[in-house]
Amino acid sequence: MIFIDINQEQIPALGLGTFGLTGQDCRTSVADAISLGYRHIDTAKMYENEQDVGSGIQDASVDRNDLFVTTKIWHTDLSHAGITAGLEDSLQKLQMDYVNLTLIHWPSSDMDLRECLDTLMELQQAGKTRLIGVSNFPSSLLKEAKALAPIVCNQVEYHPYLGQSAVLNVLSEHQMMLTAYCPIAKGEVLEDQYLINLGKKYGKSPTQITLRWLVQQENIAAIPKSGSSKRRASNFDIFDFSLTDEEIANIHALHQNRRLINPHFAPVWDN
């Protein structure tokens, strides 16, 4: 496993995304992932699966201190009361006293960013969350947030076809991490001839090549979601090889500014 060191926390660079997993499927997937070696679990209030994620963690019988758990506050709850109640509700459903990281899931055009971040800092001081951060923040808003609070992370869509250079530059400047969701571009990497050829060289799939490309970058985590134990195991099997600098650069060169997640309430993105 590769770890990211942020604010005295060791964050596993590969985690399990749980968006779209609910009920028993989610509970089983989380427990299975932990049995395979995953120690980073990502959920959110909007996913409506925190109860199932928490039950899956309980089923796995792993020491809570060995897990890194992230949850997120939805963009309609971005007030002092909404954030406070939202995290309390998440903790109750997860059956936990704290989460490792709490994120603003999406920025809102009418949010008071200072109030939101002050509230997250209050919850951090109270021990409800170890770290705080944001998600889906473009570079200008990310800079504004970092000036107001000790945020450590921006979780964004990031894969070979969406380079995120502007966001990455800000994160690098401030020693923050990026967590990549949609890391295999909804399966599009499986049809990419360069990734297919590179996989043949290493005896790996295009998915494994892509995940390795992500976690081999400094301060980058990836959270692929899978409802299949076989695919979860395959996704985790990326720590026995390394890509060359040239191969990493070639994958960066696949960038097409192709954004796959863009809801109507999304901010104005960086080009």
Q: Which of 47, 158, 161, 181 is catalytic?
A: 47
Sign of CA dihedral 143, 179, 104, 63: negative
Residue 8: φ, ψ to 5°: 65, 15
| CB 150 within 8 Å of CB 121 | yes
Q: How far apart are CA 134 and CA 18, in angstroms?
A: 18
Two tokens, residue 33 = 């992932």
Task: Map tokens 């809102």 to a residue.
Answer: 108
| CB 169 within 8 Å of CB 139 | yes
Query: Is 98 among the catalytic positions?
Result: no
Scored b (16 or more CB within 10 A) or e, 228-258 reads eeeebbbbbbbeeeebeeebbebbeebeeee
| CB 160 within 8 Å of CB 220 | no
DSSP secondary structure string for all residues of 74-118: -GGG-SHHHHHHHHHHHHHHHT-S-EEEEEE-S--TT--HHHHHH
Helix (H) or strand (E) holding 208: helix 206-216
Catalytically annotated residues: 47
